Amino acid sequence: MREFVSKKVKDIQPSGIRKFFDLVLGMEDVISLGVGEPDFITPWVIREAGIYSLEQGFTSYTSNKGLYKLRLSISRFLKSRYNLEYSADDEILVTVGVSEGLDLALRAILEPQDKVLIPSPAYVSYGPITELAGGIPVYIDTRSTAFKLTPALLKKYIDKKTKAIILNYPHNPTGISYRKEELEELKKIILENKLLCISDEIYGELTYDFEHTPFSTLKGTKDFTLYLNGFSKAYAMTGWRIGFICGPEAIISAMTKIHQYTIMCVPITSQMAACEALHGGKPYVEEMKKEYRRRLQYVLERLRNIDLEYVEPQGAFYVFVSVKKTGLSGMELASRLLKKEKVAVVPGDAFGKQYLDYIRISYATSFENLKEAFDRIENFLK
Ligand SMILES: Cc1ncc(COP(=O)(O)O)c(C=O)c1O
């Protein structure tokens, strides 16, 4: 039979998270600490805005870039929240989640064999979408620096073919984030080498110990930064599939071309709901953030009690835990824990092949579930 699937796609590995969670499907009574999505339902005021827009008959396409009123709301939100200035006319594109924004960014900027730096462990899509866009992902292992990219580490990996870096903070899967001073140090090197910083700040609103600093608020970075954010995590809107990307007009316009021919526009219902999220969503974000923080403290306490090591997270809803002490790899531990105690966690190697000794725990589940899951984990380790 003729082979229809391209070599490029055949060579891409399916997401390790999906592979593992196919095992979970069909099992009963499993407590999942695996998924990377809020356990909260989208706040009612936001859902209501989506429903009301349908009742009013808003069922059409929108402008390719997204409803102007949404772009204006995004622009105003960024100005008031971070003193960031992006024009609603030509510096903002509404995308199908941050996922689409990342893909568009790479497709718009990469020439074949251009290199993209990816501090790792890393969110599962960065490497594969870089390859699909014709680039070469270059992974920077951050184990020796407590999962943080440092200026020295960054310098080591830059060469003539390096075009961009994907920064992500607060970070999936480790939860670490960067303070302004740390970002300033990284900025110097990024600017010296004229790299584009693709800054995935989807967890920005879920920063616990200090103020989140968007990379493009640092002096001199605006022409060198794409700022990505979305509604999935902070507003518990994963299923609405909506996010946005802000940056220099030339890149936004290049991305809009691809978006125009592939997606056309984000569903209008999601755009209408997102407008409401920016107007009336803040108290709900604060409430959810408070609850994540309470759960994080609890998870860390339980981890200390069972003597497993971790680097203290500063945001998002994940902890990346070393299981080396147990004598099991992350994959072995995750599989046995699932079979014996029906608790699902993600093996660390889903986020890069070096992270065999880790698991990712997501605390985007109820406090009661966390309690029961840790009782079972403790039982398992005994
Ligand atoms: C770091 C990171 N970036 C992007 C995404 C994708 O988000 P969206 O739902 O906006 O496509 C995720 C989802 O888990 C994520 O963890």
pLDDT per residue rounded down to tens, the chain (382 residues): 899 999 999 999 888 777 777 778 778 899 999 989 999 999 999 999 999 999 999 999 999 999 999 999 999 999 999 999 999 999 999 999 999 999 999 999 999 999 999 999 999 999 999 999 999 999 999 999 999 999 999 999 999 999 999 999 999 999 999 999 999 999 999 999 999 999 999 999 999 989 999 999 999 999 999 999 999 999 999 999 999 999 999 999 999 999 999 999 999 999 999 999 999 999 999 999 999 999 999 999 999 999 999 999 999 999 999 999 999 999 999 999 999 999 999 999 999 999 999 999 999 999 999 999 999 999 999 8
* pLDDT for residue 381: 94
Token pair for residue 275?
């407008």
Long-range contacts of 131-135 (CB under 8 A, 24+ apart): 131/8, 131/11, 131/12, 132/8, 132/9, 132/12, 132/103, 132/106, 133/103, 133/106, 133/107, 134/110, 135/106, 135/110, 135/163
Is 36 close to ligand 1, i.e. is its CB under 6 Å away? yes
> Nearest C-alpha to atom 13 of ligand 1 is from which residue?
36
Q: Is 97 in the pocket of ligand 1 (CB under 6 A)?
A: yes
The ranges of the chain annotated as CATH 3.40.640.10 are: 44-280
Q: What angle do CA 142, 147, 149 make, to 5 degrees?
A: 65
Among residues 329, 362, 316, 333, the alpha carbon closest in space to that of 32 is found at 362
Cα gap 349→320, rounded to integer Å: 11
- What confidence score (pLDDT) does residue 156 get? 98
CATH architecture, range 7-42+283-381 = Alpha-Beta Complex (3.90)
Q: Using CA atoms, how far apart are residues 225 and 246, in angstroms rounded to an integer?
A: 8
Q: What are phi and psi of 162, to 5 degrees?
A: -75, 125
Tokens of residue 54, six digits: 């349908």
As a CATH number, domain 44-280 is 3.40.640.10
Whether the CB of 124 sits within 6 Å of ligand 1: no
Q: State in Å: Cα 315 to ligand 1 middle.
A: 14
pLDDT at position 17 is 77
CATH 3.90.1150.10 segments of the chain:
7-42+283-381
Would you give the DSSP letter of residue 312?
Answer: P
Helix (H, G, I), strand (E, B) or coil at 48: helix
Q: Check if the beta carbon of residue 53 is closer than 8 Å to that of residue 273.
A: yes
Task: Indicate the DSSP class of residue 145.
Answer: G
Ligand 1 pocket residue status of 170, Cβ below 6 Å = no
Which two three-digit tokens encode residue 349? 């190697």
Q: On the CB side of 119, how many CA atoms lie within 13 Å of its CA? A: 31
202 close to 243: Cβ distance less than 8 angstroms: yes
